[in-house]
């Protein structure tokens, strides 16, 4: 693998750095405290082209390869401190936009992709249910087929972007007795009769990323809104999970780079007992561990992106990247707090917020335990 960046890729990085530093300037402390989604910054990201990065030019996107996309999202995470906004962007891209690219009909692509690429439409995915989290295919939402399409009944929870979404990929079972071969995917739009957002979910972290509980009661969905073939929901979900697990934490790698740089500067500026604290061996060891975790996380990210760009399977590597980056991000946040002492424990420095955000990465897109189960099962053959 050659990870030397081209002039075009380096130029894109500089453009994203300038964009984020000059345009994504909202007060993240206030947004986090209020649990508020920053729609204005979302619109700016859409206008810049962030959601369109991995979408082929033939589908109205920018046509960037997975490595370039990972590099761009890592850069965005370095320059933008709103992890909730970035999480919502990633959920939009990997669980709604890219499934439509891969499985959508010509009409569905024409109808949804322009808005999803520009960010004028917000997308998401509704799979999890109160009794079906890690057991994703244990869903009870049903889709009863009839002449005009399908009638969906059930409930969904932990739906990222749920309160804001214009279109969601909703999974339901057309043949519960054939589970999971009966699971199918449907594109449900805001305002569809029988589709209700019942409540916004409050969270410990990622508070600027809206998450909701949904309810479907006799929700009529035309056959034209079924995404992919009937019963192909499992294949569609697995496809999107490779993208999501592999790249959803690209921005976290950028955040870890920023944390390391900030901590290094602090240890050079902060003095105790007449010495820079960076000269204290135990403080220096924390910086070393932060650097090692950063490089391991970055390597895992780029490996997945390289495999995707090469058209190779990345199912195990995506699980490894998700596990490695999430665990390393949490520890990086903890080290940053410890290095900054009491200052690190305050909202103004941002590390306590980033720790709250990072803890969620152990849970979404499959818990760390589920990633280990996936990796172990593939190793065992």
pLDDT, residue 85, reads: 98
Q: Specify the pTM.
A: 0.95
Confidence check: pLDDT of 137 > 90: no
Residue 168: pLDDT band (50, 70, 90) is: very high
* Residue listed under structure tokens 């960076």: 278
pLDDT, residue 1, reads: 62
Confidence check: pLDDT of 176 > 80: no
- Residue 21 CB neighbours (<10 A): 11
Model confidence pLDDT, tens digit, residues 177-217: 777 788 999 999 999 999 999 999 999 999 999 999 999 99
CATH number for region 124-230? 2.40.110.10
pLDDT, averaged across the chain: 95
Confidence check: pLDDT of 133 > 90: no
More confident residue, 178 or 149: 149
Query: Is it true that 7-121 and 124-230 share their CATH fold?
Result: no
**Which among 57, 76, 74, 58 is positioned nearest to 304, based on CA atoms?**
74
Domain boundaries, the chain: 7-121, 124-230, 249-380
pLDDT, residue 159, reads: 96
**Which among 92, 301, 290 is positioned nearest to 210, based on CA atoms?**
92
- Supply the DSSP string of 60-86, one letter for each residue: TS----HHHHHHHHHHHHHH---HHHH
Looking at the chain, the whole-number percentage of residues with pLDDT higher than 90 is 93
Pairing relation of β-strands 123-126 and 167-173? parallel
Q: Can you name the CATH fold of 7-121?
A: Butyryl-Coa Dehydrogenase, subunit A; domain 1 (1.10.540)
User: Are the beta carbons of 347 and 29 closer than 8 angstroms?
Assistant: yes
User: Are the beta carbons of 116 and 291 closer than 8 angstroms?
Assistant: no
Over residues 16-43, mean pLDDT? 97
Confidence check: pLDDT of 140 > 80: yes
User: Are the beta carbons of 100 and 108 closer than 8 angstroms?
Assistant: yes
* Residue listed under structure tokens 């508070």: 207
Phi, psi (deg, nearest 5) at residue 163: -75, -20
pLDDT, residue 3, reads: 65
Question: How far is 239 from 242, CA to CA, in rounded Å?
Answer: 6
Model confidence pLDDT, tens digit, residues 212-247: 999 999 999 999 999 999 999 999 999 999 999 999
pLDDT, residue 113, reads: 98
Looking at the chain, the whole-number percentage of residues with pLDDT higher than 70 is 99
More confident residue, 6 or 181: 6
| Residue 327 bears catalytic tag | no
Task: Give me 204's structure tokens.
Answer: 């410990």
Beta bridge partners of residue 197, listed in sequence order: 214
Over residues 261-269, mean pLDDT? 97
Architecture category of domain 249-380 in CATH: Up-down Bundle (1.20)
pLDDT, residue 42, reads: 98
Q: Which of 74, 129, 244, 352 is catalytic?
A: 244
Confidence check: pLDDT of 170 > 90: yes
Alpha-helix runs per DSSP H in the chain:
7-23, 28-34, 39-48, 66-79, 83-92, 98-103, 106-118, 233-247, 250-269, 281-309, 315-340, 351-360, 368-380
User: Are the beta carbons of 99 and 236 closer than 8 angstroms?
Assistant: yes
Model confidence pLDDT, tens digit, residues 72-130: 999 999 999 999 999 999 999 999 999 999 999 999 999 999 999 999 999 999 999 99
Distance of CA 29 to the CA centre of its chain: 21
For residue 351, what are the CA distances in angstroms to 29, 80, 255, 356? 11, 14, 10, 9
For residue 101, what are the CA distances in angstroms to 55, 97, 114, 116, 157? 7, 6, 11, 11, 25
Question: How far is 168 from 165, CA to CA, in rounded Å?
Answer: 7
pLDDT, residue 198, reads: 93
Model confidence pLDDT, tens digit, residues 327-381: 999 999 999 999 999 999 999 999 999 999 999 999 999 999 999 999 999 999 7
């Amino acid at each position: 693998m050659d990870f030397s960046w081209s002039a075009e890729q380096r130029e894109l990085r500089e453009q994203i750095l300038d964009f984020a530093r000059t345009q994504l300037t909202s007060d993240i402390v206030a947004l986090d405290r209020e649990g508020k989604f920053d729609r204005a910054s979302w619109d700016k990201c859409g206008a810049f082209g962030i959601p369109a990065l991995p979408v082929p030019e033939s589908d109205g996107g920018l046509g960037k390869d997975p490595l370039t996309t990972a590099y761009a999202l890592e850069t965005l995470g370095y320059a933008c401190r709103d992890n909730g906004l970035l999480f919502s962007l990633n959920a939009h891209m990997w669980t709604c936009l890219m499934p439509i690219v891969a499985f959508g009909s010509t009409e569905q692509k024409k109808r949804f992709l322009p808005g999803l690429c520009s960010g004028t439409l917000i997308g998401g995915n509704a799979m999890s249910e109160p009794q079906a989290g890690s057991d994703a295919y244990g869903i009870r939402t049903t889709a009863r087929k009839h002449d005009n399409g399908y009638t969906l009944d059930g409930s969904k929870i932990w739906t990222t972007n749920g309160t804001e979404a214009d279109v969601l990929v909703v999974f339901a079972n057309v043949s519960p007795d054939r589970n999971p071969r009966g699971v199918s995917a449907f594109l449900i739009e805001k305002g569809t009769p029988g589709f209700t957002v019942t409540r916004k979910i409050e969270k410990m972290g990622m508070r600027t990323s809206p998450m909701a509980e949904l309810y479907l009661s006799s929700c009529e969905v035309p056959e034209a809104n079924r995404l992919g073939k009937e019963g192909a929901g499992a294949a569609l979900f697995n496809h999107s999970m490779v993208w999501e697990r592999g790249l959803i934490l690209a921005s976290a790698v950028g955040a870890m780079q920023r944390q390391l740089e900030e901590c290094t500067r602090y240890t050079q500026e902060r003095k105790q007992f007449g010495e820079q604290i960076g000269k204290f061996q135990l403080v220096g060891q924390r910086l070393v561990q932060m650097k090692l975790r950063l490089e391991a996380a970055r390597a895992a990210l780029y490996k997945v992106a390289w495999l995707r760009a090469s058209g190779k399977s990345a199912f195990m590597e995506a699980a490894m990247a998700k596990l490695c980056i999430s665990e390393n991000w949490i520890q990086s946040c903890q080290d940053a707090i410890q290095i900054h002492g009491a200052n690190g424990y305050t909202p103004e420095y941002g590390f306590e917020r980033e720790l709250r955000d990072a803890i969620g990465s152990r849970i979404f897109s499959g818990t760390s335990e589920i990633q280990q189960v996936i990796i172990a099962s593939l190793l065992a053959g």
